[in-house]
Chains A and B, each alone.
Chain A
Amino acid sequence: MTSDTDRRSAEERFREVFAHLGAVTAYARRRGSRDPDGLAAEAMTIAWRRLAGVPQDDPLPWLYATARNLLLAERRVARRTGTRVVEPSVPAPELHDLDPQLDAALRSLSPADREALLLVAWEDLAPTQAARVLGLKPTAFRVRLLRARRRLRAALDEERRPAPLVQIDVEGT
């Protein structure tokens, strides 16, 4: 920053990034952060410090990627302090309020598949945006999303299938 003009210009630019605070907080909450508000605030602070690297046209994927890294760091700290940690690699979604069938189907997916689905379904990102969050090429992300969709559908079908009838042998009839 060399002058007040630069600073004002930076603040204006940051205001557009900061407008996504609610979305980032919700993302952190959905992924089971212990402190979603604090995590979103930290992501915004990082965005301010690295504003030149935040894409001006579409900062949301950058913010989600940063929040995701902070979530992983939060999990590492939780692991150090002995708090129970669910997922080893990808933040686990907070699924407690879901209907049990969907909950079970989602939990049966790999973390990578689940994250691809949730970025599109819950964070409402386009595949190209979601690809940026995960550091993938759009093509690779589309393939992952397609497979994840198929696996979720299969898992839901499995959940819907009635339990097999128990064959009862009746002796003497």
Chain B
Amino acid sequence: MTDHTLNRLRAANPSPEGTAVNADALFDRIVLSTADRRLGHTPRRRRRPMLLVAIVIVVCGLLASGAYGVSGLFDHIIHGPTVKAEYAAAQKQLTLPPGHRWPPLNWPKNSVTSRGAGGSFAVSVDQDAWECYWVDAIHSGDVASQRRANAALDDLMANHIVIAPAGSPEDYTPPQSERTPTLAFADDGGYQYKQRMYAEAAAGKPRLLEQSCLANGP
């Protein structure tokens, strides 16, 4: 392209920079939410000796213990097939909104996680689906579906979503997750943020709900 053509395209830029939002307020709101956990971590190089020591201790412990001890030690760790089984079982206890389907869970067979993870995935999927269903209902003016979505999300928040106790490890497993699919939120205000989102949507201000659906929806 000649410079003339490029300049012509540049001159035709239809929108100058700028935002209508209160940038300071937005900044404050964003930094109130959970930050990237990786930023607070000690550099890996310094952690390595400690990690090595920890691995040696664990290996020694394993060798010293019997089969019973080993099985007990790893009781809370599950593999791919168990995760998928949990995910499938959770689908029987949870209800998706009309028109939605459970997405397949692609969990590698040789990958491990904590017990209850399959259920928590299902709760997360269900929550995202109901949020988007609610947004669609708002856009289409379907009041009955809006109420239904609100009720479904209230039920999820009350019975399937908990706040992990302060100081819990990353792999915290809620005690009730053996019986009921349960998703644990970190104690960082995320649960309260969702509550606010639903309350505002019910009051006719669906902006947060729309953003959540946009970011997390199927």
Contact = CB atoms under 8 A, between A and B. Distances in A.
Contacts of B19: 21-22, 25, 36-37, 40
Given A2-B40, A122-B13, A21 B26 contact: yes
Interface string B17-59: 1111101001100110111111111000000000000000000
A123 to B, nearest CB: 9
Nearest to B1: A149
A65 interface: no
Contact of A10 (B35, B136, B139): B35
A9 to B, nearest CB: 8
B15 A26 contact: yes
A103 to B, nearest CB: 9
A44 B1 CA distance: 34
A102 B107 CA distance: 49
Interface in B183-212: 207, 210-211
Contact of B36 (A2, A49, A80, A149): A49
A152 B40 contact: no
A129 to B, nearest CB: 16
Interface string A104-137: 0010000000000110111010000000000000
Contacts of A80: 132, 136
Interface residues of B, number: 43
A36 B18 CA distance: 10
A73 interface: yes
Contacts of B12: 98-99, 102
Contacts of A153: 1-2, 5
- Chain B at the A interface: SS class: helix
A29 B19 CA distance: 10
Contacts of A35: 210
Interface stretch (A11-19, A84-92, A162-170): A11-19
Contacts of A149: 1, 5-6
B36 A50 contact: yes
Contacts of A42: 211, 214-215
A38 B210 contact: yes
Contact of B30 (A22, A29, A48, A95): A48
Nearest to B9: A121
B15 A11 contact: no
A40 B19 CA distance: 9
A140 interface: no
Nearest to A69: B215
Residue of B33, B36, B41, B213 with highest tally of chain A CB at under 10 A: B36
B27 A26 contact: no
A38 B207 contact: yes
Contacts of B210: 35, 38
A38 to B, nearest CB: 6
B8 interface: yes
B197 to A, nearest CB: 13
B31 A14 contact: yes
Interface in B103-148: 132, 135-136, 139-140
Interface in B72-127: none
A131 B30 CA distance: 28
19 contacts: A2-B40, A10-B40, A22-B19, A26-B17, A26-B18, A40-B19, A41-B26, A41-B211, A44-B26, A44-B30, A49-B35, A52-B38, A52-B39, A96-B14, A102-B8, A122-B9, A122-B13, A149-B5, A153-B1
